[in-house]
């Protein structure tokens, strides 16, 4: 990564609470933003264009994809989703840190292109809790078949948990958000993110056998 901001990738089975947890996280950490994906999925009643997603029709998505505009993209539950490369790059270069909330296929593509990206997998406490959250999600009345499908995809997705750097269980929301905040805080102190500032300080000490202290 050439930018100064850190790139975080959060994946979790649908219904785990990743949108809820990441929204709470970005509200709490200055300089951290959630990336806004493009999708061909129609908006849910509670969703707004440009806030939850950039909603585009399938033809427009495909032409953006074919023009190479996406850092990553995937077909999830029959709809296309993607992260626009230029949006990500501009924010990171401006020193802001970014969270991509994307599925496991997209996360794999980001890992290949941005080896410094930090992967976080959110797990629900159990399959039963996941099912309950899927059923209770407001503004998203899923049919029985859709719930079965999401649970079956979840069974596949959780097998990828070890491809990520961190795993966080979303049991109590506050605890989950606090764990995410700790991961972001630690990453901001990594060599990748804090190295330039640290090197400037160490350089200001001068050479080990350099005689008089240069700061005097
Ligand atoms: P996702 O983005 O992973 O599909 P959402 O953020 O939409 O999931 O959350 C799914 C549902 O679960 C929502 O109704 C949300 O309020 C609820 N939820 C999220 N986190 C928790 C939690 N820690 N405890 C209880 N309910 C939660
Ligand atoms: P939903 O339609 O419920 O908002 O999201 C469905 C799934 O699509 C979730 O697993 C979510 O992480 C994934 N998703 C959302 N945006 C993107 C994206 O830009 N790229 C990829 N690969 N997946 C995405």
Q: Which ligand is nearest to the CA of 15?
A: 1
Ligand 2 in contact with 35 (CB < 6 A)? no
Both tokens of 177, joined, read 């958000």
Q: Please state the domain extents for the chain.
A: 7-190
CA of 215 to the centre of ligand 1 (A): 53
| CA-based nearest residue to 110, from 101, 44, 12 | 101
* Cβ(110)–Cβ(72) below 8 Å: yes
Ligand 2 in contact with 16 (CB < 6 A)? no
Residue ID of nearest Cα to ligand 1 atom 13: 137
Q: How far is CA 60 from CA 47, 57, 64, 76, 89, in A?
A: 20, 5, 6, 17, 21
Per-residue model confidence (pLDDT) at position 2: 41
CA of 174 to the centre of ligand 2 (A): 23
CATH architecture of 7-190: 3-Layer(aba) Sandwich (3.40)
Per-residue model confidence (pLDDT) at position 197: 93
pLDDT tens digits for the chain (216 residues)? 444 799 999 999 999 999 999 999 999 999 999 999 999 999 988 889 999 999 999 999 999 999 999 999 999 989 999 999 999 999 999 999 999 999 999 999 999 999 999 999 999 999 999 999 999 987 667 899 999 999 999 999 999 999 999 999 999 999 999 999 999 999 999 999 999 999 999 999 988 887 777 777
Per-residue model confidence (pLDDT) at position 187: 96
DSSP string, 96-145: -EEEEE--HHHHHHHHHH-TTPEEEEEE-S-HHHHHHHHHH-TT----HH
Per-residue model confidence (pLDDT) at position 3: 45
CA torsion angle for 103, 106, 111, 116 (degrees, to 10)? -70
Q: For tokens 């090197």, name the residue.
A: 199
Both tokens of 203, joined, read 């350089």
Per-residue model confidence (pLDDT) at position 118: 98
Per-residue model confidence (pLDDT) at position 1: 41
Ligand 1 in contact with 14 (CB < 6 A)? yes
57 contact partners, CB below 8 Å, separation of at least 6: 40
What pTM was computed for the model?
A: 0.94
Ligand 2 in contact with 37 (CB < 6 A)? yes
Q: Which ligand is nearest to the CA of 103?
A: 2
To 10 degrees, what angle do helices 173-188 and 18-28 make?
50
DSSP string, 33-48: EE---EESSPPPTT--
CA of 139 to the centre of ligand 2 (A): 17
Per-residue model confidence (pLDDT) at position 184: 98
DSSP string, 160-189: GGGGSSEEEE-SSHHHHHHHHHHHHHHHHT
CA of 188 to the centre of ligand 2 (A): 25
């Amino acid at each position: 990564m050439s930018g100064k901001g850190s790139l975080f990738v959060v994946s979790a089975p649908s219904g785990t609470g990743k949108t809820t947890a990441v929204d709470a996280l970005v509200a709490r950490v200055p300089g951290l933003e959630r990336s806004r994906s493009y999708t061909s999925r129609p908006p849910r009643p509670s969703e707004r264009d440009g806030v939850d997603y950039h909603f585009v029709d399938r033809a427009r998505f495909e032409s953006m994809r074919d023009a190479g505009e996406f850092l990553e993209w995937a077909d999830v539950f029959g709809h296309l989703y993607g992260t626009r490369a230029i949006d990500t790059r501009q924010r990171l270069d401006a020193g802001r840190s970014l969270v991509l909330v994307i599925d496991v296929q997209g996360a794999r593509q980001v890992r290949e292109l941005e080896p410094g990206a930090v992967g976080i997998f959110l797990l629900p406490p159990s399959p039963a809790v996941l099912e309950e959250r899927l059923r209770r999600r407001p503004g998203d009345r899923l049919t029985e078949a859709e719930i079965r499908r999401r649970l079956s995809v979840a069974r596949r997705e959780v097998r990828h948990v070890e491809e990520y750097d961190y795993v966080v269980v979303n049991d109590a929301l506050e605890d989950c958000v606090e764990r995410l905040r700790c991961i972001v805080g630690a990453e901001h102190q990594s060599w990748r993110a804090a190295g330039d500032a640290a090197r400037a300080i160490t350089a200001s000490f001068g050479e080990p056998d350099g005689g008089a202290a240069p700061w005097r």
